[in-house]
Structure 1
Amino acid sequence: MDQLPKHDIANPALAAEGVRRIEWADRCMPVLRQVRERFAEHRPFAGVRFAACMHVTTETANLMRTLHAGGAEIALCASNPLSTQDDVTAALVHEYGISVFARTGVDRDTYYQHINSALDIQPDYVFDDGCDLVNTLHTSRTELIENIKAGCEETTTGVQRLRQMSRDGALRFPMVAVNDTDTKHMFDNRYGTGQSSMDAIMRATNVLFAGRTVVVAGFGYCGQGLAERAAGLGAQVIVTEIDATKALDALMQGYRVMPMRDAAPLGDIFITVTSNSGVLRPEHFETMKDGAILANAGHFDVEVDVVGLEKMAVEKRTGIRHRTDEYVLPSGRRLLLVAEGRLVNLGAAEGHPAAVMDMSFSDQALTAEWLIGSHTDLSPGVHEVPSEIDKEVARLKLAAEGVSIDVLTDDQQAYLSGWQHGS
């Protein structure tokens, strides 16, 4: 490539390995591949600039390739310091010509420096995963807002933040909650988080789940996936919740339900997925078993009170295993923290399987295309993805899997569309 795009990456020599892994993921992303082929033909994003703050993984790389094929100019930064795959950043810059600002394990200042570098593109549209980019726009880069037409948010935590901004009248442009599509939260959150979080904890600790007690904090779609996978591996599952309906759902599915104070002395493995802070706190650490494993599957590193754990510990042994630190308490009990309390499936493993991200990122790509023609009809605030996009992604995924489904007959359609039919 004659002229490289602007970038800040770790090691250009990793580009060839990155290409191999990106192409491997692409094999499992047939829906996004079809979208990319159509975008390459019709170029819906010609002359359009995107700033994206996302996990820089092989699957994200294929989304960036798809937007780029459609004519977009892109600047990508990381939405989590531990989730960046350095071979992927090298490939995106050196092989695919996409501007990337991301390196594994950067500190907080560099993290925000990268966000600002991505925003320097002066974007027309934004992609966010956790709302840090949108938050930066509304605090320190407000001069860019008047040019931004709309954006997409990928994850539950980010959507929650955006809705809070909207309620406060602070959100100044339309954002679409891609996270809330059925093909995202029903599959990405449930099956993706369920599998990839187990994978990460096993890679980090080599723990046997069978016969262990796993405490899942939060029983949304992600929590359901975690509980299902843990039970499938032979674990006894305890669920903690603050929502009575979700707690009842967990009980009816056969899980034990109790407050964290009661679960803390029972658990062998704790996984938080609540999008809230202080879910595991010193009062819980004080009663946990020797060797208990702590992991967070929520977006931000606030669910496990790591600062409180640091203050309690008389000794910290870093890197005792892959992405695992050991904290020794005054009693001599040891607690194991995976991925520094950050998003465990990307901090200690590779994140969701590509086959799941195929749907999530197809939602993203098709929503971006829809926004090109529809952003003027949207007011500042949080908006839903049109249902026809969600259904189209599901239809394409089924077709890629070789699965067909029934079609309504004319009589059935008339029955469902009318009210005249009696019982």
Structure 2
Amino acid sequence: MTLPPHDVADLGLAQAGVRRIDWAERAMPVLRRIHDDFGRNRPLEGLRIAACMHVTAETANLARALRAGGAEVALAASNPLSTQDDTAAALVVEDGVAVFARSGIDAGTYEANLRTVLATAPHLLIDDGCDLVNIVHLESPDLVDNLLGGCEQTTTGVIRLRQMELEEALRIPMVAVNDTATKRMFDNRFGTGQSTLDGIMRATNALLSGRTVVVAGFGYCGRGLAERARGMGARVLVTEVNPLKALDAVMQGYTVLPMAEAAPVGDVFVTVTGNRDVIRGEHLARLKDGAILANSGHFDVEIDLAALEGLAVDVHREVRPQADEYVLADGRRIVLLAEGRLVNLGAAEGHPAAVMDQSFAVQALTARWLAEHHTEVPPGLVQVPEEIDAEVARLELAALGVEIDSLTPEQEEYLHSWRV
């Protein structure tokens, strides 16, 4: 087989990657059903898809489904620390995916890879943080006419797209996959909660029970993280800027306070806001000795890394894998995990495959929907059709062997009538 264009670390890792991808597939029954349906019906025949995603075994199963549907797929990594080199090799050798991803690449190579996948003149985008969309609109507007639309799967990316729409700058339909009920429930809440703690514990071997964990941001991701940290015996403090989310945290029994007050008492700090400079220099200066800093909010801007570097008189790189220790002038030590990037992917393996099964099922079905209905969808931020979300939930329940009730004709009539 002629291999597609690629830039991966070692094609010799392909068979190890196949084993990893196949293992993940066992926990992804919904996406497997979609894969088989795509293979029979080929809804993406002739389409080129450019994707910016974490190159993991779970993502590989989405890429396989898209390929089964007839699409050509070019994939760049959305985070250099999360790339699994064996998975990247397997996708090139076994599945014909054009992969441009190596673990640990620098920022320049990362950005070059994004431009490489866009050079395929794609019809559809699958984005993770709005990076591809950003390049198209700021650098390559000539690509717009060829694009049918795309999907965005992160909170950070949807925030950016919403701002683009407000400024009337968004020239293609972009579907907010992140905003579906299944995505928020499984991926953001259960996935981020578990995988973030997994990354922290792998990087530090720290006992969370009895320690104070500060969760910055109480959206779906922060909620899931707080639940799981409390379940492991931690005392959980929450910081927020949104009064409704802060009130939600209070009513769930969490202590809510400003970051300036949390800084001197926290043992572990995790940012999950989608915004920058959540932990700033004035907060860093008040941290106790041994405080651990982690980010699960997509980009590495939530912790002010420049301020941390400025405060430090010495830096011990990799005191443990994915853990750097910054020593302050008074001898206090601050431990930064995964370079301030996503700790669940930099220091662990990201969400469990069972979680990504639903998120990627929505991605695949949304790609099919865009292929079939793009002429009816205007440019702008678009919500996933409710029937797609319902279909994914129905398929997941079937895979779990769970049956539910259905409405009787009388109940249907009652719900659709205003006459008593």
Deviation sequence 1:46-99 (CA, Å, 0-9, x none): 111000001111000000000000100010001111111111100000111110
- Residue 129 of structure 1, CA deviation: 0.4
In the alignment, which residue of structure 2 is the partner of 1:254? 253
Unmatched runs of 5 consecutive residues or more in structure 1: none
2:35 is the alignment partner of 1:26:
no
Secondary structure of residue in 2 paired with 1:270: strand
1:168 aligns with 2:167: yes
Measured in 2, the distance between the counterparts of 1:364 and 1:103 equals 24
In the TM superposition, 1:217-256 aligns within 5 A as 217-256=216-255
The aligned counterpart of 1:134 is 133
Deviations 1:398-423 (A, max 9, x none): 110011111111111111111111xx
Summarize deviations over 1:375-394 as a string: whole Å, max 9, x none: 11111110000001000100
* Cα distance in structure 1, aligned partners of 2:285 and 2:73: 48
CA distance in structure 1 between the aligned counterparts of 2:48 and 2:356, rounded to whole angstroms: 23
Between the aligned residues of both structures, percent identity stands at 63
Q: CA shift at 1:153, angstroms?
A: 0.4
Hey, what does 1:102 align to over in structure 2? 101
Matched residue of 1:238: which SS? strand
1:326-345 equivalent positions in 2, closer than 5 A: 326-345=325-344
**2:393 corresponds to 1:419:** no
CA deviation map 1:202-222 (0-9, x unaligned)? 000000000000000000000
Counterpart-to-counterpart distance in 1, 2:366 and 2:94: 26
SS of residue matched to 2:95: coil
Q: Aligned partners of 2:149, 2:198: CA distance in 1, in Å?
A: 35
Deviating 4+ runs (over 6 angstroms): none
Aligned 1:5-84 pairs, distance under 5 A:
5-84=4-83
- How many residues end up aligned between the 2 structures? 420
Letter in 2 for 1:175: M
CA distance in 2, matches of 1:203, 1:341: 15
Question: Partners of 1:204 and 1:286 in 2: how far apart?
Answer: 23
- Give 1:373 deviation, angstroms: 1.5
Q: Equivalents in 2 of 1:120, 1:224: separation in Å?
A: 39
Please give the alpha-carbon distance, in whole angstroms, between the structure 2 residues aligned to 1:264 and 1:384: 38
Pairing 1:11-410 to 2, within 5 Å after superposition:
11-410=10-409
Distance 2:268 2:180 in 1: 30
Q: How far 1:125 sits from its partner (Å)?
A: 0.7
Q: Deviations over 1:187-233 (max 9, x none)?
A: 10000000000000000000000000000000000000000000000
3-state secondary structure, aligned to 1:293: strand
Distance 1:77 1:141 in 2: 17
Q: How far apart, in 1, do the equivalents of 2:276 and 2:95 lie? A: 38
Structure 2 regions of 5+ residues with no counterpart? none
Distance across 1 between alignment mates of 2:228 and 2:112: 38
Question: How far 1:282 sits from its partner (Å)?
Answer: 1.2
Q: TM-score, normalised by structure 2?
A: 0.99
C-alpha displacement at 1:102, in angstroms? 0.6
Q: Partner letter of residue 71 of structure 2?
A: A
